[in-house]
């Protein structure tokens, strides 16, 4: 605890002692004391602001250096052309808590400083622009900058992707609407057909053109196409390819002429036979003697021969 605090407490104590019953009674009769909990008011804290001292200190330690050593610029934010001057109080309130506005305000201040200082530097013959062939160590390493670039690109990509997904979702919504319209249209056509049949039966009309199913107008044909194009969704399609959908499944795993032909790449009878022969030659297995050249005929031909013999 600092000294002034202690002093204040001592003062309070002495004050308490002075509050005798008589005094309190007197105060009550005057109407200064109200019934209820009376709390001693605390003295308001005084904040030091020694303006003269500050000014003296500033003159003491200020260095008279050339501007070239200091490079300081004092200026407000650069004005955007075409913007009216907003009221300062009103502006300040949002600025602090709105990140974008605040950063923009600071950015514009920096911009104003740059626009102010660069001509001054050029007047002093100080290069402000780095030549293309001047290489030196940077504040951030190349590795770090690469990471930043990658992150930026990734962010951009994800944004694009999300936008695409959004569009697709909207399209799908639209597709549903189209489908509903198609259903309504079909019902209407059915109704029309029934009506025209009725009319024909009663002899109101002798035209049988409606039976040929001519579409009355080509207006809806485009929408129909769109609906047809949409078809089942991607997930359903993938599942269909995996588990099968529609058509005949029976016997789909049984070998056929076609499947054998498809398999030829992997297995050929000819090659197999030659392999077997080679094997036998090498390891001295049983070898056919005599008319080894004569080939066995195909099954169909053999059966024909059999029937002829009979």
Partner 1 sequence: MFRRSVVKSSTHVKMGKRKIAQKIVESKKKRKRNDPIHKTQQNAEKAAKAGPVARWTNKERTLIFASRGVSYRGRHLMNDLRTLMPHSRADSKMDRKDNFFLINEVCEMRNCNKCLFFEARKKMDLYLWAANIPHGPSAKFLVENIHTMAEMKLTGNCLKGSRPLLSFDPQFDESPHFGVLKELFIQIFSTPYLHPKSQPFNDNVYTFTILDNRIWFRNYQIVEEDGSLAEIGPRLVLNLIKIFSGSFRGPTLYENPNYVSPNQHRTLIKKQASLKYQNRVEARMGQMERKETDTYKMDTLDEVFHTIKPEDAKGAEKMTFFRK
Closest C-alpha among 69, 181, 63 to residue 121: 69
DSSP state of 290: S
Q: Is residue 111 close enough to count as binding partner 1 by CB under 8 A?
A: yes
Angstrom distance (rounded) from CA 147 to CA 263: 50
Length of the chain: 310
Q: Residue from 16, 21, 64, 69 that binds partner 1 (CB under 8 A)?
A: 69
Point out which span in 8-16, 63-71, 183-191, 249-257 binds partner 1 (CB under 8 A).
63-71
Residues 168-197 binding partner 1 (CB under 8 A) are: none
Angstrom distance (rounded) from CA 95 to CA 102: 5
Question: Tokens at residue 230, please?
Answer: 């949409």
| 22 to 61: interface string for partner 1, x by CB under 8 A | -------------------------xxxxx-xxx-xx-xx
Closest C-alpha among 116, 117, 115, 91 to residue 104: 91
Point out which span in 104-112, 224-232, 248-256, 287-295 binds partner 1 (CB under 8 A).
104-112
Q: Is residue 128 close enough to count as binding partner 1 by CB under 8 A?
A: yes
Size, binding site for partner 1 by CB under 8 A? 60
Question: Closer CB to partner 1, residue 26 or residue 71?
Answer: 71
Question: Closer CB to partner 1, residue 44 or residue 296?
Answer: 44
Q: Residue from 10, 24, 26, 118 that binds partner 1 (CB under 8 A)?
A: 118
Angstrom distance (rounded) from CA 185 to CA 192: 10
Say if CB 181 and CB 223 are below 8 A apart. yes
Tell the smallest beta-carbon distance from residue 163 to partner 1 (Å): 21
Angstrom distance (rounded) from CA 264 to CA 243: 26
Q: Is residue 137 close enough to count as binding partner 1 by CB under 8 A?
A: yes
Question: Closer CB to partner 1, residue 17 or residue 85?
Answer: 85
Question: Closer CB to partner 1, residue 57 or residue 166?
Answer: 57
Question: Tokens at residue 206, please?
Answer: 């002798």
* Long-range pairs of 109-112 with CB within 8 A, sequence gap ≥ 24: 109/75, 109/76, 109/77, 109/78, 111/77, 111/78, 112/73, 112/75, 112/76, 112/77, 112/78
Q: Is residue 133 close enough to count as binding partner 1 by CB under 8 A?
A: no
Q: Residue from 100, 134, 243, 283 that binds partner 1 (CB under 8 A)?
A: 134
Angstrom distance (rounded) from CA 121 to CA 128: 7
Q: Residue from 30, 34, 42, 70 that binds partner 1 (CB under 8 A)?
A: 70
- Which residues sit at the interface with partner 1, rule CB under 8 A? 47-51, 53-55, 57-58, 60-63, 65-66, 68-76, 78, 92, 95-96, 102, 105-107, 109-115, 117-118, 121, 126-130, 134, 136-140, 144-145, 147-148, 151-152
């Amino acid at each position: 605890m600092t000294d002034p605090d202690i002093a204040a407490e001592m003062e309070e104590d002495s004050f308490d002692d002075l509050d005798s019953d008589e005094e309190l009674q007197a105060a009550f009769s005057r109407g200064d004391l109200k019934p209820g909990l009376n709390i001693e008011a605390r003295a308001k804290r005084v904040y030091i602001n020694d303006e003269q001292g500050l000014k003296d200190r500033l003159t003491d330690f200020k260095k008279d250096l050339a501007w070239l050593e200091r490079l300081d610029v004092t200026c407000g934010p650069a004005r955007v052309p075409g913007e009216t001057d907003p009221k300062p109080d009103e502006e300040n309130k949002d600025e602090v808590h709105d990140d974008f506005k605040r950063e923009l305000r600071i950015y514009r201040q920096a911009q104003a400083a740059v626009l102010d200082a660069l001509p001054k530097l050029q007047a002093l013959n100080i290069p402000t622009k780095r030549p293309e062939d001047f290489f030196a160590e940077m504040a951030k390493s190349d590795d770090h900058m690469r990471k930043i670039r990658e992150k930026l690109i990734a962010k951009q990509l994800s944004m694009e992707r999300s936008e695409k997904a959004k569009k697709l979702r909207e399209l799908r919504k639209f597709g549903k609407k189209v489908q509903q319209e198609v259903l309504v249209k079909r019902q209407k056509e059915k109704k029309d057909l029934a009506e025209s049949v009725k009319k024909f039966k009663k002899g109101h009309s002798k035209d049988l053109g409606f039976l040929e199913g001519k579409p009355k107008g080509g207006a809806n044909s485009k929408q129909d196409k769109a609906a047809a194009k949409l078809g089942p969704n991607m997930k359903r399609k993938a599942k269909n390819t995996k588990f099968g959908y529609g058509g005949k499944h029976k016997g789909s795993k049984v070998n056929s002429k076609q499947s054998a032909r498809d398999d030829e790449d992997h297995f050929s009878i000819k090659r197999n036979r030659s392999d077997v022969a080679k094997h036998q030659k090498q390891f001295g297995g049983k070898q056919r003697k005599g008319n080894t050249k004569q080939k066995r005929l195909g099954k169909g031909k053999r059966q024909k021969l059999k029937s002829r013999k009979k």
